[in-house]
Amino acid sequence: MKKIYIFAATIVFTLLPAGQFAQSKKDKSKKGETAAAPPEKKAESSIKDYNKVITKDAVSDPGLFTVHKVDKKYYFEIPNKYLNKDMLLVSRIAKLPANLGGGYVNAGSETNEQLIVWQRFQDKILIKSKSFNAVANDTLPISISVKNNNYEPTLFAFDIAAFSKDSANTVIDVTKFYSTDVKAISGISAEMRETYKVKGLDDSRSFINSVKSFPMNIEVIQDMTYNALKPSMLEDTETISIQMNQSMILLPEVPMKPRIADPRVGWFTVSQYDYGSNELKSDLKTYIRRWRLEPKDPEAYNRGELTEPIKPIVYYLDPATPAKLRKYIKQGVEEWQKVFETAGFKNAIIAKDAPTKEEDPDFSPEDIRYSVIRYVASTTRNAVGPSVSDPRTGEIIESDVIWYHNHLRSYRNRYLLETGAANPSARTLQTSDEEMGEMMRMVIAHEVGHALGFPHNMGASCAFDVESYRNGAFTQENGIAASIMDYARYNYIAQPGDQNIRFIRKMGAYDHYALNWGYRVIPNAKTPEDERKTLDKWILEKAGNPVYKFGKQSSAFDPSSQTEDIGNNSMKAGTYGMKNLEFVASHLSEWTSSVTNNYQDLDELYKEMLDVWSRYVGHVVTNVGGVYENTKNPDQKGTVYEVVPKAKQLEAMNWLQTNAFASPTWIVNINVLKNTDYAGYTERFRNIQVRQLNNLMSLGRIGRLMDNEILGAETYKALDFFKDLRKGIWKEANAAGNVTVYRRNLQRAYIDRMAFLMTEEIKPNDRSTAYYNVSQSDLRALVRGELTSLKKTLTAAKALGGNTETKYHYEDCIKRIDLILNPK
């Protein structure tokens, strides 16, 4: 009845004269009464006739929305059928000044990605930024609450300018939205605004460059100029000019069937809280991010035949790519073709040159219809593989791999430093095009892996035994890690004289396994839940085999999931690596300055060599207080977390005392230093030694060692750790020997770190220490006891002799300890 009443009332109101709405009573003049004032004239509606807005002078571009340019204004003519439809709005930088953002922001960088809907409200059209973090089926009552408690922000409100003649479309003026400083689509972040002292947008120097409409997307290019007191370049101009590309794409009407993620296989993901779940709480659903690959011939595919996808993944090469590198980039993309065949697809991923202006005048690398390998003129040494995905399902819509021009320099340097001892072809600054091409091919394959949905798998480099890296046949077949997604750059284990060694990484068995797990179409599975049994079966078939283990990059406590390492024993690998590095150090001048007749490359490579040394040490440090993480479900044997055995932790501690904390003999090369710097010789080595000592004595590591107390006698406890460390760092004090300058520096750093442990409190959001209360734990009791013991040792050592520097050093250390133990 209520709906009928409202409908009837609407009819009555419609039949009343227009002027009647302005009066609360009928306008009847009575004898002797003053006549009522005439009703105020209703304001003229701002909605005009279509022809008065979209005039005969309009330049129109039909597509998703028809775009009209009338004089200096831009209008969207929005089909009403697209109101309330999910779309993605992606903001990217098209052009920018040098050094904006500190080197990792470039042409092609995405600055924002948001799900939007266009909605009508009275005489306005709104852009609403929509979230899929909380969902519920529209048929369920709780969906009302989900909407009410996740109200979408309005990015912009537009007055309706006109309706099309058939009323099927709504016209709005979008000029202001794209020509003013709307922060939700800006390329200048809040941090940049503060860094560069941005005062605001200069309207007189900001404008819309172009607006183009395509069947599924609209591309807008803006030129935005900001007044800034400290711009990233040309400070006197007090100006930052940036060109932005705004891509808006209609998401599929029929969303891709999502695949439920499993932490045992590494994937980038999207997550939603489903309030329509039958659980007693909102159900967190996590889906993997992947491209929509569907076989052209499903019947043949289901029979196990290789089938082409309906829509393959296509990457275009940036027109700015140097000609000699193009074939290697294409090969890097198409490295994944054989991997996709494991999942039943042939020709699933293709690399192409960008079309010429004649072939496609509308082609733009920023256009969201195209995935592009961007080649960036930047001194940054890196490459990245970001992607844009549908937040509803995880479907990847588009991705750009970004290659920075100077990145090959990093690979040449590390090739020389890490393999030069066993690999004569690496002993040069002029690495051959073929070798550099192979390196680039594998880096591109790694970044394309990210763009296909894969995160780093840092456990893949621990899959192989250390000695296997010295076996030519093994390395040629398996490379240096079980996955291209590990940070395993080179084989630094192979020794001089080892034959037929592969030094550069390659695709691995894990890549085939993980891609099949994520991309293979499972017949007869109607819903994501229907796929779970098959997906779980595939995981259990490989369980326990380290080749198929996924190691999270965030597992900083797990020595089997480290960046830049190779092999299943950090101490053995580090010993081989140090031997090779010592060989390289002795020939570094011969391979650089003797050839170039200058010291620039020698200086650069020597500094990077110190970083390599530090990395090898860091890999060993992780074993102390280490915990292996083996993600598994309750129906699998064993526990998820397993403490590194005591023997291995002791092996690591002894290795560090011998290789990391002893006085250096070969790495501090005086002949190099005297030709590359006038001072700071001892400081360079002090810096890298202390970095790893502080790493070893971190709050998080000591917390894990204190946990070991409850695990039994055969564990490495915090008390053992402190005693072993003290005896090693201060071994000269027990032998009445002189202490070198390097050791004196290290020993003072040890005391500084002990002072830190006595006073440091947990910082909010510090994940390394969040699991224990420092001040109420055993930590400070252990530190106090160790410093007390150390003071007694140093007091006795001072009386035993030693040179003057050593005596002064011990006296100073005793005073420092006193200040820690008795600060008042």
DSSP notation for 87-130? EEEEEEEEE--TTGGGGS--TT-EEEEEEEEEEEETTEEEEEEE
Closest CA to 446 of 359, 364, 339: 339
Q: How confident is the model at residue 25 (pLDDT cuts 50, 70, 90)?
A: very low
pLDDT at 148 (0 to 100) = 57
pLDDT tens, residue by residue, 174-201: 999 999 999 999 989 889 999 999 999 9
The pLDDT of residue 422 is above 60: yes
Cα separation, 301 vs 163, in Å, equals 49
Contact 271, 284 (CB under 8 A): yes
| Least trusted range by pLDDT, from 91-105, 391-405, 482-496, 783-797 | 91-105
324-344 average pLDDT score:
96
Contact 757, 725 (CB under 8 A): no
Q: How confident is the model at residue 102 (pLDDT cuts 50, 70, 90)?
A: confident
| Least trusted range by pLDDT, from 65-74, 230-239, 439-448, 803-812 | 230-239
Cα separation, 217 vs 87, in Å, equals 9
The pLDDT of residue 719 is above 90: yes
pLDDT at 134 (0 to 100) = 56
Closest CA to 396 of 450, 334, 351: 450
Closest CA to 107 of 450, 366, 317, 371: 366
Q: What are phi and psi of 398, to 5 degrees?
A: -165, 155
Q: Whose structure tokens read 């107390």?
A: 709
Q: How confident is the model at residue 379 (pLDDT cuts 50, 70, 90)?
A: low
pLDDT at 711 (0 to 100) = 82
Q: Name the 3-class secondary structure at 78.
A: strand
* Most confidently predicted of 349-363, 548-562, 716-730: 716-730
Show the tokens assigned to 471: 């076996």
DSSP notation for 192-248? HHHHTTEEEE-GGG-EEEEEEE-SSEEEEEEEEEEEESS-SS-GGG-EEEEEEEEEE
Residue 485 or 143, more confident = 485
Contact 787, 820 (CB under 8 A): yes
Contact 336, 444 (CB under 8 A): no
Q: Which residues have a Cβ under 8 Å from the Cβ of 565 and sit 6 or more positions away? A: 461, 462, 488, 573, 615, 619
pLDDT at 625 (0 to 100) = 96
Cα–Cα distance list, 116 to 88, 144, 210, 247, 642 (Å): 6, 19, 21, 12, 45
pLDDT at 29 (0 to 100) = 42
pLDDT at 279 (0 to 100) = 63
pLDDT tens, residue by residue, 65-89: 999 999 999 999 999 999 999 999 9
Residue 554 or 720, more confident = 720
pLDDT at 277 (0 to 100) = 60
Cα separation, 297 vs 305, in Å, equals 9
| Least trusted range by pLDDT, from 42-46, 649-653, 718-722 | 42-46
The pLDDT of residue 442 is above 80: yes
Cα separation, 644 vs 797, in Å, equals 36
Cα–Cα distance list, 673 to 588, 594, 612, 688, 711 (Å): 12, 15, 17, 16, 49
Residue 372 or 143, more confident = 372
pLDDT at 644 (0 to 100) = 96
Q: How confident is the model at residue 144 (pLDDT cuts 50, 70, 90)?
A: low
The pLDDT of residue 135 is above 90: no
pLDDT tens, residue by residue, 524-571: 999 999 999 999 999 999 999 999 999 998 778 999 999 999 999 999
pLDDT at 9 (0 to 100) = 38
The pLDDT of residue 765 is above 70: no
Residue 88 or 376, more confident = 88
The pLDDT of residue 265 is above 70: yes
Q: Which residues have a Cβ under 8 Å from the Cβ of 221 and sit 6 or more positions away? A: 94, 208, 209, 210, 211, 243, 244, 245, 246, 366
| Least trusted range by pLDDT, from 266-275, 703-712, 741-750 | 266-275
pLDDT tens, residue by residue, 597-644: 999 999 999 999 999 999 999 999 999 999 999 999 999 999 999 999
The pLDDT of residue 764 is above 70: no
Cα separation, 342 vs 388, in Å, equals 25
The pLDDT of residue 238 is above 80: yes
CA angle 620, 625, 630 (to 5 degrees): 90
Show the tokens assigned to 286: 């996590």
Pairing mode, strands 269-274 and 110-121: unpaired
Contact 757, 697 (CB under 8 A): yes
Q: What percent of the chain has pLDDT over 90?
A: 71
List the beta bridge partners of residue 115.
88, 130
The pLDDT of residue 146 is above 70: no
Q: Name the 3-class secondary structure at 431.
A: coil
Cα–Cα distance list, 36 to 18, 24, 32 (Å): 17, 12, 12
366-374 average pLDDT score:
87
Q: What are phi and psi of 188, to 5 degrees?
A: -100, 105
The pLDDT of residue 120 is above 70: yes
Closest CA to 502 of 545, 472, 528: 472
Q: Name the 3-class secondary structure at 654.
A: helix
| Least trusted range by pLDDT, from 148-152, 257-261, 427-431 | 148-152
Question: What mean pLDDT, rounded, does the chain reach?
Answer: 89
343-356 average pLDDT score:
95
Cα–Cα distance list, 771 to 116, 702, 765, 780 (Å): 39, 12, 11, 16
Cα–Cα distance list, 325 to 313, 433, 438, 608 (Å): 21, 9, 10, 25
Cα separation, 490 vs 510, in Å, equals 18
Q: What are phi and psi of 806, to 5 degrees?
A: -65, -45
Pairing mode, strands 349-353 and 387-389: unpaired
List the beta bridge partners of residue 135.
274
Q: Whose structure tokens read 């326990």?
A: 544
Instruction: Please count the other Cβ atoms lying within 10 Å of the Cβ belonging to residue 9.
Output: 10
pLDDT tens, residue by residue, 500-530: 999 999 999 999 999 999 999 999 999 999 9
452-465 average pLDDT score:
96
pLDDT at 44 (0 to 100) = 53
* Burial track 379-392 (b if 16+ CB lie within 10 A, e otherwise): ebebbbbbbbbbbb
744-762 average pLDDT score:
93
Contact 338, 324 (CB under 8 A): no
Closest CA to 215 of 357, 67, 50, 86: 67
Contact 429, 591 (CB under 8 A): yes
Cα separation, 410 vs 395, in Å, equals 34
Cα separation, 407 vs 384, in Å, equals 11
pLDDT at 236 (0 to 100) = 87
pLDDT at 107 (0 to 100) = 77
Pairing mode, strands 169-173 and 134-135: unpaired
Show the tokens assigned to 16: 């009343």
Give the max Cα distance, the chain. Answer: 126
pLDDT at 401 (0 to 100) = 87
Q: Whose structure tokens read 């009552």?
A: 141
Cα separation, 199 vs 610, in Å, equals 43
Kindly state the helix (H) or strand (E) to which residue 156 belongs, with its residue range.
strand 154-163
CA angle 169, 173, 179 (to 5 degrees): 140
Q: What are phi and psi of 88, to 5 degrees?
A: -105, 135
